[in-house]
């Protein structure tokens, strides 16, 4: 049978252009994939399409040093200007992928252009989760996921004295830390009974709760937002308890959901994340990597979607290897960090139904670690200002929960 390659078809159909590997999204995972492909000797064409007006950049500083120290946005770039052109990676910024015709192997951009591909990779990340409460669209209500969010947020923070932060996860707490360092009032509203419940264990939540309160953050646990108050501008928040808290600015930090709409519309299986197999494959010639991908963790026995730099980088490397003909199952021990004041939290593993907890060191010293076990196996370690405990924890979890190896 004679198979017509997309490249040949493009010449006949007059489509705009065709690329070997088309990456949707131009963030951490996309950048790593392009780099790893070139390092691995891939000589075909690579294109990255990103809807933000920036070359690939790192997001973690947005809620930490970048927010606090206000350096130029260039300092966030993952590679220097010119790198992508040198690597012959076509970078389309400010261009959103609108739809994918999988049968025709063609992506349509929101501006009407089309790109044909041989292999397609979704690296579309996440967006702030919708929070359907009255007043959410008022001026003075912000979220924080990208450079442009900081560009809007930072001047508003400068003009604000009292900040209400909805969500006591790591982003909310990192911003609260910056606010206190600037002597602004910060109130954190958390619906759960402890901060960072989704990512850290009880002792670590208690440590951060006490640390923030000690620095003057007003933390409200078990508090539910009823509305954001104000008519022309947010002036505060109302809780379901009836309490009202005045604020000059409201930051919504209630988590993210996967950008999987384009994939779902293209008929790929999605469930707050594009479902992929052990090799990050969503369908023949289609992969998904980074925050937007949901995959089965053999180590933990369930599907997971990770939002961390480790996963973006390592899953991208795994897909590069697969594309280069050396597929290896991707089954990571996840890890993650958060910086709050002078405290570095490093989390490794997942807190899945642990039955034993051990604290090593003294929280009063601001340096300790917590180990979580299930059936005698180490499944997670939270390390506070203790990089060694974190590194050892990663290695020990990898031994206790062995990596999946394809038959
Ligand atoms: C404020 C903040 C702080 C963080 N701090 C940490 C931290 O301390 N440690 C840590 O490990 N992780 C942290 N993270 C998470 C980390 O940044 C992400 O896990 C990582 O960026 C994921 O990489 P990605 O490439 O999957 O997605 P992203 O880097 O988010 O890139 C995805 C890109 O795709 C674009 N896109 C979406 N849809 C389309 C479309 N249809 N067409 C074209 N482009 C599209 C998006 O706009 C985005 O630019 C933080 C995230 C945020 C927001």
CATH of the domain at 195: 3.50.50.60
Q: Which of 233, 254, 275 is the last residue of a domain?
A: 254
**pLDDT tens digits, 61-70:** 999 999 999 9
Question: What are the tokens at 271?
Answer: 């469930």
Domain presence at residue 407: no
Query: C-alpha angle with apex 332: 375 to 54, nearest 5 degrees?
Result: 145
Q: Could you give the C-alpha distances from 310 to 191, 302, 314, 348, in angstroms and in order?
A: 28, 19, 6, 10
Domain presence at residue 376: yes
Q: Which atom of ligand 1 is nearest to the CA of 146?
A: 53
For residues 62 and 98, membership in a common domain is answered with yes
Which regions in the chain score pLDDT beneath 70? 1-16, 407
Minimal-distance CA residue to ligand 1 atom 31: 27
For residues 121 and 137, membership in a common domain is answered with no
Minimal-distance CA residue to ligand 1 atom 12: 308
For residues 244 and 192, membership in a common domain is answered with yes
For residues 63 and 114, membership in a common domain is answered with yes
Mutate to test the pocket of ligand 1, among 25, 108, 174, 292 (most ligand atoms within 8 A of CB): 25
Judge if the beta carbon of residue 172 lies within 6 A of ligand 1. Answer: no
For residues 14 and 118, membership in a common domain is answered with yes
For residues 76 and 174, membership in a common domain is answered with no
Judge if the beta carbon of residue 273 lies within 6 A of ligand 1. Answer: no
Mutate to test the pocket of ligand 1, among 309, 320, 338 (most ligand atoms within 8 A of CB): 309
**pLDDT tens digits, 8-41:** 333 334 345 789 999 999 999 999 999 999 999 9
The secondary element (H helix, E strand) that includes residue 153 is helix 147-158
Q: For residue 289, which of 323, 255, 266 has the smallest C-alpha distance? A: 323
Q: Which of 238, 254, 270 is the last residue of a domain?
A: 254
Per the structure, how many domains does the chain have? Answer: 3
For residues 109 and 247, membership in a common domain is answered with no
For residues 205 and 351, membership in a common domain is answered with no
Mutate to test the pocket of ligand 1, among 24, 36, 59 (most ligand atoms within 8 A of CB): 59
For residues 122 and 79, membership in a common domain is answered with yes
Judge if the beta carbon of residue 309 lies within 6 A of ligand 1. Answer: yes
Domain presence at residue 337: no
Give the range of the structural domain holding residue 346, as residue numbers without chain letter.
342-400
How far is the centre of ligand 1, averaged over its atoms, from the C-alpha of 80 (Å)?
Answer: 19
Contact call for residues 278 and 296 (beta carbons, < 8 A): yes
Domain presence at residue 85: yes
How far is the centre of ligand 1, averaged over its atoms, from the C-alpha of 386 (Å)?
Answer: 26
Domain presence at residue 331: no
Judge if the beta carbon of residue 34 lies within 6 A of ligand 1. Answer: no
**pLDDT tens digits, 155-195:** 999 999 999 999 999 999 999 999 999 999 999 999 999 99
Domain presence at residue 15: yes
For residues 169 and 79, membership in a common domain is answered with no
Domain presence at residue 328: no
Domain presence at residue 375: yes
Q: For residue 317, which of 300, 307, 297, 332 has the smallest C-alpha distance? A: 332
For residues 197 and 209, membership in a common domain is answered with yes
Q: Which of 237, 254, 271 is the last residue of a domain?
A: 254
Contact call for residues 389 and 395 (beta carbons, < 8 A): no
Per-residue model confidence (pLDDT) at position 126: 98
The gap from C-alpha 192 to its chain's centroid, in whole angstroms, comes to 21
For residues 116 and 142, membership in a common domain is answered with no
């Amino acid at each position: 049978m004679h198979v017509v390659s997309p490249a040949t078809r493009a010449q006949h159909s007059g489509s705009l252009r065709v690329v070997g590997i088309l990456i949707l999204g131009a963030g951490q995972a996309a950048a790593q994939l392009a780099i790893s492909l070139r390092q691995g000797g891939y000589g075909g064409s690579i294109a990255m399409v990103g809807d933000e007006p920036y070359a690939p950049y790192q997001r973690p500083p947005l809620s930490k040093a970048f927010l606090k120290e206000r350096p130029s946005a260039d300092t966030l770039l993952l590679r220097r200007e010119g790198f992508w052109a040198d690597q012959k990676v076509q970078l389309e910024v400010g261009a959103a992928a609108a739809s994918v015709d999988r049968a025709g192997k063609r992506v349509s951009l929101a501006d009407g252009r089309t790109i044909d591909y041989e292999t397609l990779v979704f690296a579309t990340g996440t967006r702030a989760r919708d929070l359907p409460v009255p007043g959410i669209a008022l001026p003075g209500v912000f979220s924080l996921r990208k450079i442009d969010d900081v560009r809007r947020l930072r001047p508003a923070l400068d003009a604000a004295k009292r900040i209400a932060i909805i969500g006591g996860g790591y982003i909310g707490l990192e911003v609260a830390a910056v606010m206190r360092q600037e002597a602004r009032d910060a109130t954190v509203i958390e619906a759960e009974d402890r901060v960072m419940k989704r990512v850290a264990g009880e002792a670590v939540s208690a440590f951060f709760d006490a640390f923030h309160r000690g620095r003057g953050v007003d933390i409200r646990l078990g508090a539910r937002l009823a509305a954001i108050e104000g008519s022309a501008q947010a002036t505060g928040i109302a809780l379901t308890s009836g309490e009202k808290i005045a604020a000059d600015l409201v930051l919504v930090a209630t988590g993210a959901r996967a950008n999987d709409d384009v994939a779902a519309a293209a008929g790929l299986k999605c469930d707050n994340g594009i479902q992929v197999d052990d090799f990050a494959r969503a369908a023949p010639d289609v992969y998904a990597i980074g925050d937007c991908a949901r995959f089965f963790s053999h180590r933990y026995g369930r599907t997971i979607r990770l939002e961390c730099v480790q996963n973006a980088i390592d899953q991208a490397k795994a897909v590069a290897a697969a594309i280069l003909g050396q597929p290896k199952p991707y089954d990571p021990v996840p890890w993650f960090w958060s910086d709050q004041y002078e405290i570095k939290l490093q989390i490794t593993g997942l807190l899945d139904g642990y039955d034993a907890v051990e604290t090593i060191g003294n929280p009063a010293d601001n340096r300790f670690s917590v180990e979580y076990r299930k059936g005698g196996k180490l499944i997670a370690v939270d390390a506070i200002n203790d990089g060694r405990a974190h590194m050892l924890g990663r290695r020990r979890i990898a031994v206790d929960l062995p990596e999946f190896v394809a038959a």
